[in-house]
Amino acid sequence: MNVETVILPKTENRTGLKVPVTINGTGFSVPGNRVTNEELSGVLDTTDEWIRTRTGIKERRFLEEEEVTSDLCIRASLEAIANANITAAEIDAIILTTTTPDQRLPSTALVIGEAIGAHKAIPIDLNQAACAGGIFSIVIGTHLLQNEQFNNVLVIGAEILSRVTDPNDRTTRVFFGDAAGAAILQKTSEGNGLLSWEIDSTLNDAVRIEGGGTVPLADGETIESSQYVKMDGREVWKMATKNIPSSIRNVIDKAGLSVRDIDHFLIHQANLNIVQAALEELDVSTSKTTFTVQDYANTGSASLFSVLYRALHEGKITEGDVVVFSAIGAGFVWGSLCLKYTQTDLKG
């Protein structure tokens, strides 16, 4: 009997960091309030068919009025902590990435830390990485774990985008939803965890929220209207379909691997058609990715955490798989990670 020998790709840490870092424990939370395309088409000049064809979105979740960003974050964080088999008291840092914090001050990361009992954790708030926040938070958390006194970093991506989209603007209202996702970063053994990463950017105001800063309001803008997302959809499409595939190729090359070596691709869920276009450019089957955009719409900083959570719970990512994460956000800022997934940390 002939036995076929399968040669696995050799993985090597090419992050430029001495200590390899993995993801061990995830959590995810969405509001119970489902908002369907049919509901939105009753108040906006749009249809279910138009939304599905252009975006792939079937429904999204909007947070209940009595809740705020940190409420979703707390629930996602507690699940991630439990899944990592640690306690909140063991967390050394909390990195929250969101464009919709509870308020400008005090720190929402600090609010979360106090609520879950992570009393020694350093709170870090990333408020302008937008949809690429998942990439930024993991890269920053990985650097923190180079310190020998750090063992557990909680990274959270969350958005309440229903609060920053104009209820009367179909060009933004139909695209976004609310969610929070979390993950625990821990040290791991050589050859596992984060293998490579890259981040890039170019200044472009195609997606923007003009109010809340020191720039004076434009003529015709009110304090209320300046808090809403403005978006040039054509420019978003052009930037995303160009930079996501390019970034993915770059991060795979940095890891010394090829596209065919990657077991699963986790891509920011801005729009179903953007994800499919990126995969087509890479000549990758959609069977090697996970989608959440149809259920939750674009959840900004929570988006990458949503696909990671679903892929793990559906068994699409298992021990030893090589996974690529990629996202692009307003700014524009974008980036990718290549990670060999393992739940074995150095304490095990």
Instruction: Give the catalytic positions in this structure.
Output: 131, 268, 298
Q: How far apart are CA 291 and CA 279, in angstroms?
A: 12
Residue 220: φ, ψ to 5°: 90, -15
Q: Is the dihedral of CA 216, 225, 124, 301 positive or negative?
A: negative
- Amino acid identity at 190: E
Q: How far apart are CA 126 and CA 231, in angstroms?
A: 21
**CB distance 308 to 181 below 8 Å:** yes
What H or E segment, with its residue span, contains residue 305? Answer: helix 303-313
**CB distance 340 to 11 below 8 Å:** yes
* Residues 6+ positions from 4 with CB-CB distance below 8 Å: none
Residue 105: φ, ψ to 5°: -145, 145
